[in-house]
Amino acid sequence: MIPLTVPDLRGNEARYLAQCVADNWVSSAGPYVTRFEARMAELTGCGHAVATVNGTAALHTALMVAGIGPGDHVIVPDWTFAATANAVRHAGADPVLVDVCPATWTLDPALVGQVLAAAKPPIAAVIAVHALGHPADMDALGSLCRDAEVALIEDAAGAVGARYRCRPVGALSDVAIFSFNGNKTVTAGGGGMLVTDHESWAARARHLTTQARSGPDYEHDMIGYNYRMTNLNAAVGLAQLERLEDMLAAKRALAARYDATLAGRADLAPMPRVDWAQSNNWLYAVRVADAGDGAALVAELGQSGIEARCFWRALSDQPPFADAPTCLAGVARALSGAVVTLPSSSGLAAADQDRVIEALARWRGAALVPAA
């Protein structure tokens, strides 16, 4: 089976892990954690980076340092991974689900503007998600959030290395998070990172993620969390970052080949790429007419020994978020089940991508209509 995406561990990962064991630094303190944080701060151009156990924990922490808590409402795109909205609930707040743009599959600034202006409910923060590694329209969202005096948070979980108008994602908001789970371009086995320019927010994030210790002898000054990344995970993550440019180039080349294959197809459209965004091409995805065609394409590729998956479903259609306030335009729901991710590993062999391309050439689906 050609996998959807597998880690690309051809660099210093094993060597750095062996170093952790040799030095007895295997837990949540150690030099690789500090180095991984420093590298992510450098890469994003942010003043501070705080490593966490996963991206969801980083998002929960980002919300807490932004002052979000019970009674607050936070705008979340309707088309995202559940973790984005789950983290809002972990912070005790409530998500408000807002639709995405058909052109980018990311948060629609026009709808965000409407929700902020209506103030029903009043909004305390906005989370923009860089879907599939494609940046959201951060200038438009930033200006809306500044005018409304609400925090802007980037969920850049899968978007390491992506750029918005030539600026790295992560540096386009008050606080941003990344995920390093096994399916991401850069993995740490599991892990997350919070980046921010606000020094006091970073200090609070460090405090909250390490059980809010206030002294060496089991003294604590608030409710804290065991959210700190381990040195083992950071060792892998740091080694991965050393090869980031190579992995991004490999993903760019894969995406360009898939794009070329899809030219002229009425039943398959490539994932969006707009000219102000440089996606990191985390997962290559195609849109098909509807969820039925999505399932049919996944099944057909499966029969050819190719792993593909239907991607996110609108959160507003799912039981945990059924009671959330919404501002929808039909885009997230049209995308639900109709976006299929294809093998996208940075180490994918050309012959394996040929097999995927041949299988796509054999498949026939219904003609697409615009997402909204």
Ligand X SMILES: Cc1ncc(COP(=O)(O)O)c(C=O)c1O
Residue 181 binds to ligand X (criterion: CB under 6 A): yes
Residue 116 binds to ligand X (criterion: CB under 6 A): no
Max Cα distance, the chain (Å)? 67
Count of other CB atoms within 10 angstroms of residue 197: 16
| Options 133, 158, 272, 365; binder of ligand X; rule CB under 6 A | 158
> Whole-number minimum distance, CB 303 to ligand X, in Å?
27
Q: Please say which residue, 8 or 155, places its beta carbon nearer to ligand X.
A: 155
Q: 3-class SS at 270? A: strand
Give the H/E segment covering residue 15. Answer: helix 13-23
| Options 64, 157, 193, 194; binder of ligand X; rule CB under 6 A | 157
Q: Please say which residue, 83 or 145, places its beta carbon nearer to ligand X.
A: 83
Q: Please say which residue, 181 or 185, places its beta carbon nearer to ligand X.
A: 181
Q: Please say which residue, 131 or 301, places its beta carbon nearer to ligand X.
A: 131
Residue 179 binds to ligand X (criterion: CB under 6 A): yes
Residue 129 binds to ligand X (criterion: CB under 6 A): yes
Residue 76 binds to ligand X (criterion: CB under 6 A): no
> Whole-number minimum distance, CB 118 to ligand X, in Å?
26
With beta carbons less than 8 A apart as the criterion, state whether 238 and 9 touch. Answer: no
In order of 10, 73, 100, 181, 247, the CA distances from 341 in angstroms are 24, 31, 18, 17, 18
Comparing CA positions, the residue from 193, 200, 190, 189 lying closest to residue 52 is: 193
Residue 159 binds to ligand X (criterion: CB under 6 A): no
Residue 236 binds to ligand X (criterion: CB under 6 A): no
Q: Please say which residue, 25 or 311, places its beta carbon nearer to ligand X.
A: 311
Q: How far apart are CA 201 and CA 277, in angstroms?
A: 28
> Whole-number minimum distance, CB 145 to ligand X, in Å?
19
Stretch 28-57: interaction string toward ligand X, x if CB under 6 A: --------------------------xxx-
> Whole-number minimum distance, CB 106 to ligand X, in Å?
11
| Options 5, 61, 80, 104; binder of ligand X; rule CB under 6 A | 80
Q: Please say which residue, 106 or 261, places its beta carbon nearer to ligand X.
A: 106
| Options 44, 61, 84, 278; binder of ligand X; rule CB under 6 A | 84
> Whole-number minimum distance, CB 124 to ligand X, in Å?
19
Comparing CA positions, the residue from 179, 182, 205, 210 lying closest to residue 193 is: 179
Q: Token pair for residue 300?
A: 């057909």
Tell me the torsion sign for CA atoms 111, 169, 12, 251: positive
Q: Please say which residue, 84 or 341, places its beta carbon nearer to ligand X.
A: 84
Q: Please say which residue, 81 or 258, places its beta carbon nearer to ligand X.
A: 81
Q: 3-class SS at 155? A: strand
Q: Token pair for residue 98?
A: 């807002």
- DSSP output for 160-217: TT-EETTEETTSSSSEEEEE--TTSSS--SS-EEEEES-HHHHHHHHHHHBTTEEETT
Q: Please say which residue, 192 or 343, places its beta carbon nearer to ligand X.
A: 192
- DSSP output for 214-260: EETTTEESS---B-BPPHHHHHHHHHHHHTHHHHHHHHHHHHHHHHH
Residue 195 binds to ligand X (criterion: CB under 6 A): no
> Whole-number minimum distance, CB 188 to ligand X, in Å?
9
Instruction: Kindly report whether the peptide bond that precedes residue 121 is cis, defined as omega within 30 degrees of 0.
Output: yes
> Whole-number minimum distance, CB 80 to ligand X, in Å?
5
> Whole-number minimum distance, CB 87 to ligand X, in Å?
7
> Whole-number minimum distance, CB 56 to ligand X, in Å?
3
Q: Which residues bind ligand X (CB under 6 A)?
A: 54-56, 80-81, 83-84, 129, 155, 157-158, 179, 181, 192
